Amino acid sequence: MFIDALGWEIVNKHGFCDQELPCRYPVRMQFGYSSTALPTILSGRKPTAHKHLSFYYYNPEKSPFKIFRCLMLQYLPGRIFNRWRVRHILSRIIKKLYGFTGYFELYSMPFDRLPFFDYCEKKDIFAAGGLAPLENLCDLLKEAGIPYLISDWRQPEEYNIRQMRAAVNDGSIEFGFLYTAGLDGFLHDRISDSGAVARKLAGYEQEVKNLLRAAENNYDDFTFALISDHGMTPLRGTCDLKTRIDRLGLKFGKDYAAVYDSTMARFWFFSPSARLRIMEVLAGEKNARLLTPAQKQEYGIDFPDNMFGEEILLCDPGIQIVPGDMSLRALAGMHGYSPGDKDSRASYLSNREPVRPPEWVGDYFALMRERISGN
Ligand SMILES: [Zn+2]
Distance (Å) from CA 184 to ligand 1 centroid = 5
Ligand 1 center to residue 158 CA distance, Å? Answer: 18
CA of residue 323 to ligand 1 center, whole Å:
17
3-state SS, 225-243, equals: EEECCCCCEECCEEECHHH
What is the predicted pLDDT for the residue at 304? 96
Cα–Cα distance, 91 to 85 (Å, whole number):
10
State the pLDDT at residue 64: 84
Distance 181 CA to ligand 1 centre (A): 9
What separation in Å is there between the alpha carbon of 272 and the centre of ligand 1?
Answer: 35
> Separation of 188 CA from ligand 1 center, angstroms?
6
Lowest mean pLDDT among 23-32, 94-103, 338-347: 94-103
Q: Please tell me the predicted confidence (pLDDT) of residue 375.
A: 55
Average pLDDT over residues 103-110: 80
Separation of CA 185 and ligand 1 centre (Å): 6
DSSP letter (8 states) at residue 13 = H
pLDDT in tens, 254-308: 999 999 999 999 999 999 999 999 999 999 999 999 999 999 999 999 999 999 9
C-alpha of residue 141 to centroid of ligand 1, in Å: 28
Ligand 1 geometric centre to CA of 72 (Å):
30
Q: Contact, 31 vs 296, CB < 8 A?
A: no
Residue 334 Cα to ligand 1 middle (Å): 7
Q: 335: CA distance to ligand 1 center in Å?
A: 6
Q: How far is the CA of 346 from the centre of ligand 1 (A)?
A: 13
Residue 195 has pLDDT above 60, yes or no: yes
Given 3-state DSSP classes, what are the helix, strand and coil percentages for the chain, each rounded to the nearest 5?
A: 40, 15, 45
Give 142-159 pLDDT, tens digit per residue. Answer: 999 999 999 999 999 999
Q: Between helices 157-169 and 194-218, what is the axis angle to 10°?
A: 20
Residue 124 scores a pLDDT above 80? yes
Per-residue burial over 235-258, b if 16 or more Cβ lie within 10 Å, else e, is beebbebbeebeeeebeeeebbbb
* CB of 307 closer than 8 Å to CB of 296: no
Using DSSP's 3-state secondary structure scheme, residue 276 falls into helix
Domains of the chain, residue spans: 2-48+125-233+339-373, 236-330
Calculate how far, in angstroms, residue 123's C-alpha sits from the geometric centre of ligand 1. Answer: 20
Ligand 1 centre to CA of 13 (Å) is: 20
C-beta neighbour count of 273 within 10 angstroms:
10
The Cα-based distances of 356 to 166, 228, 366, 368 in angstroms read: 30, 17, 9, 12
Taking the centre of ligand 1 as the mean of its atom positions, its distance from the CA of residue 333, in whole angstroms, is 9
Could you tell me the distance, in angstroms and rounded to a whole number, from the CA of residue 337 to the centre of ligand 1? 12
Q: What is the model's pLDDT at position 308?
A: 96
**Ligand 1 center–CA 34 separation, angstroms:** 7
Q: Write the pLDDT tens digit of every residue in 42-91.
A: 999 999 999 999 889 999 998 888 777 766 555 665 655 666 777 888 88
Ranges 1-15, 65-79, 137-151, 159-173: which has the least confidence: 65-79
The DSSP line for 124-191 is -TTSTTTTTTS--HHHHHHHHT--EEE--TTS-HHHHHHHHHHHHHTT--SEEE-EE-HHHHHHHHHT
Is the pLDDT score of 105 beyond 90?
Answer: no
Q: How far is the CA of 21 from the centre of ligand 1 (A)?
A: 24
d(CA 304, CA 339): 22
236-330: CATH topology? Gyrase A; domain 2 (3.30.1360)
- How do residues 303-355 score in pLDDT, each as one tens digit? 999 999 999 999 999 999 999 998 889 999 999 999 999 999 999 999 999 99
pLDDT for res 293: 98
Residue pair 290/282 in contact (Cβ under 8 Å)? The answer is: yes
Distance from residue 205's CA to the centre of ligand 1 (Å): 20
CA distances from 182 to 138, 140, 161 (A): 23, 27, 12
What spacing in Å lies between the alpha carbon of 170 and ligand 1's midpoint?
Answer: 33
CATH architecture of 2-48+125-233+339-373: 3-Layer(aba) Sandwich (3.40)
Query: Is residue 123 very low, low, confident or very high in pLDDT (cuts 50, 70, 90)?
Result: confident
